[in-house]
Amino acid sequence: MPLVIPRRVTFLAKSEYFTGKGIKGRLIAAFFRALGQVPVDRSGGRASEAALETGLRILREGNLLGIYPEGTRSPDGRLYRGRTGIARMALESGVPVIPVAMIDTDKIQPPGKALPKIMQVGIRFGEPLDFSRYEGMSGDRFILRSVTDEIMYALMDLGGQEYVDMYATRAKQIEADETKSNE
């Protein structure tokens, strides 16, 4: 496999990947640790704040941070509304955001499937996005939404995905509710 970048990228991963039971749980946790993933609690409130602080610490140490701004996998391969945590980290750390689109991941491991198909993932890198014009404004929710939307637009452009102005977690809930009512 070709080297894409010469530095390791640390990803924030949901804490459930690190807390599984039995041999399978330990193997999954070891796999994610070996890849340099850092567990974060995504339950909201203080947990979300802790996740942001973890990301900021990684950036302040001069390391690369990979984050999925949707906060969860797309339920159908489309690009959903981004969470503003990525904007807060970009503004508070002062680092540029390099948009990276991963192509066909929904075909490799469709939602709900336990085993992935063996095939190549496409990766497209965009130009770095500089948000220094918003320095000192990380507490303004309108600026955070604007920065997040600019990042999501760059991802949409790179990946060629249809954009849905709804959080992916909400789309998943709607889908689950519809499935439940059809039973």
Predicted pLDDT of residue 1: 43
Average pLDDT of the chain, as a whole number: 88
pTM of the predicted structure, to 2 decimals:
0.85
Check pLDDT > 80 for residue 111: no
Check pLDDT > 60 for residue 2: no
Predicted pLDDT of residue 92: 95
Q: Of the candidates 56, 59, 16, 64, which has an alpha carbon nearest to the alpha carbon of residue 36?
A: 64
Residue 108 structure tokens: 């490799």
**pLDDT band at residue 4 using 50, 70 and 90 as cut-offs:** low
Residue pair 32/17 in contact (Cβ under 8 Å)? The answer is: yes
Per domain, the residue ranges of the chain are 8-65, 67-183
| Per-residue pLDDT tens over the stretch 136-174 | 999 999 999 999 999 999 999 999 999 999 999 888 888
Check pLDDT > 50 for residue 37: yes
Edge-first strand order for the sheet with 9-14 is: 38-40, 9-14, 64-66
Share of the chain above pLDDT 90, in %: 50
**pLDDT band at residue 132 using 50, 70 and 90 as cut-offs:** very high
* Range in 1-15, 63-77, 139-153 the model is least confident about: 1-15
Predicted pLDDT of residue 3: 57
Going along the chain, which residue ranges are E strands? 9-14, 38-40, 64-66, 79-80, 100-103, 122-125, 163-164
Pairing between β-strand 64-66 and β-strand 9-14 as defined by DSSP bridges: parallel
